[in-house]
Structure 1
């Protein structure tokens, strides 16, 4: 039986082989590109219709369709401190700005957290004369602590 990580590897392989972009997959699936990418990398269970659309576009088999529909074990890092340079930079951002984000969230909203369950993510390019900028938007519902 194909598991979620094996399915993710097959998705990445076929995506490259066929020259399909994450945006094209998201359009076929009918979901936002960040959600679609995360789901195809094994971090969300995909409903039948969405999984079938992705599998058909990527010319994958029923084993991958089944794996995409499974409930995941979330969290994709192999180590507590990521070693991939792109992923590590997000770790570094949280090391430097995590306390600031916490303070600003608490000042604006009160005692609570930003949800990673009721959550949206967007990544876009912003042209800049000194070199294009990566703009990452993390958009989570505020959840107050209840005592």
Structure 2
């Protein structure tokens, strides 16, 4: 866990949230179930990297037995995304994710362009999940899914309709 002692870019409430999560013996998966959110989204909320709705704030405060106003003070605004880590990252797991993008980023772009046309994958209309998979030899594998709405280059936008509902994203 990163803390405000080692990273001044984190919100003051981050340490409090992690302390209470540990004291209550809760996982992000359990908190996600209670909030109706994915476990990665809840972890991102803890770090101030995802938007917390008023309902998220209320439920987090209830479950973690925290003052709702204190939680809302840090999590109630818009996230200041992307400022919590040094680049390149020094934490080994996060560096491996960075390395994946360094090594496969252009390949992802080429394949996405072939499948969807010129554009980008949204990190706003986006969801992600982490799963654990065990193969037939008992070896554990991490499976990370990234799901983002594909946004066409502005010249191509008029040719396609946007989805009616981003609720599932």
Secondary structure of 1:7's match? Answer: helix
Q: Aligned partners of 1:124 and 1:139: how far apart in 2?
A: 14
Correspondence 1:42 to 2:78? no
Structure 1 stretch displaced more, 59-68 or 78-87 = 59-68
Alignment of 1:55-74 (within 5 A): 55-61=61-67, 62-74=69-81
Asked if the contact 1:123/1:134 (under 8 Å) is kept, the reply is: yes
**Which residue of structure 1 aligns with residue 16 of structure 2?**
10
Structure 2 residue aligned with 1:111: 118
**Aligned positions of 1:55-94 closer than 5 A:** 55-61=61-67, 62-94=69-101
Higher relative contact order (CA 8 A, sep 6+): 1
> Residues 127, 15 of structure 1: CA spacing in aligned structure 2 closer, same or farther, 3 A cutoff?
same
Task: Name the CA distance, whole Å, in 2 between partners of 1:24 and 1:41.
Answer: 17
Deviations 1:26-76 (A, max 9, x none): 111122222222122211232222211111111112312332212121114
Contact 1:4/1:68 (8 A) holds in 2: no
Preserved contact between residue 7 and residue 42 of structure 1 (Cα < 8 Å) = no
Separation in 2 of the partners of 1:121 and 1:17? Answer: 27
1: CA distance, partners of 2:123 / 2:50: 12
Structure 1: runs of 5 or more not aligned? none
Runs of 4+ in 1 over 4 A off after TM superposition: none
SS at match of 1:119: strand
Structure 2 residue 27 is the aligned partner of structure 1 residue 21:
yes
Q: Per-residue deviation at 1:78? A: 2.8
CA RMSD of aligned residues (A): 1.7
For structure 2, which runs of at least 5 residues remain unmatched after alignment?
A: 1-8, 156-169
**Preserved contact between residue 4 and residue 67 of structure 1 (Cα < 8 Å):** no
Q: Residue 143 of structure 1 is aligned with which of 151, 155, 159?
A: 151
Higher helix share: 1
Q: TM-score, normalised by structure 1?
A: 0.90
